[in-house]
Amino acid sequence: MNLNELMERYQSDPRIFSIADRLTMSQPQQLYLKNLQGSSSQFVVAAAFLHPSCTQLNHLIVLNSAEEAAYFHNTLENLTGALDIFYFPSSFKSTKNYQLLNSSHVMLRTEALTKVASSPLVNKKIFVLILKH
């Protein structure tokens, strides 16, 4: 089984249709996925992102650590081939010293915010954030 076949299986799963229905409700929805192992969470998010009813929705993914968020972002980019997936890391090099900025992270954050501000309704986007630094 190749990657495309696996993605097709995820996209045709009834649980993805249920997630897509929740995402398209008029009120903002918060979904919490649990008991997913390995890269299955990235496959679920990719399948929902690619679902026809979610064509113009922005998605916000919140993860526990910078490492987890970076891996999630990278895997999601590879699964979807989408260019509008942004990693939104902390601006600082350390939680102990908030005066030392990480310039590459500041640039990633600026790029994400610029894309949102310039075209909020044109293309759907995914933002991968860190819950805690």
Which residues form the domain of 64?
Answer: 3-130
Percent residues over pLDDT 90 in the chain: 16
pTM of the full structure: 0.77
Measured CA to CA, the distance from residue 81 to residue 4 in angstroms comes to: 12
Q: Is the distance from CB of 93 to CB of 101 less than 8 angstroms? A: yes
Buried b (16+ CB within 10 A) or exposed e, 100-126: eeeeebeebbeebeebeeeeeeeebbb
Number of domain units in the chain = 1
What pLDDT score was predicted for residue 109? 73
In this predicted structure, what is the pLDDT of residue 99? 62
Closest CA to 47 of 78, 82, 85, 20: 20
Six-digit token pair at 23? Answer: 């995402």
The pLDDT score that the predictor gives to residue 16 is 93
| CA count, 13 A, side-chain hemisphere, 40 | 9
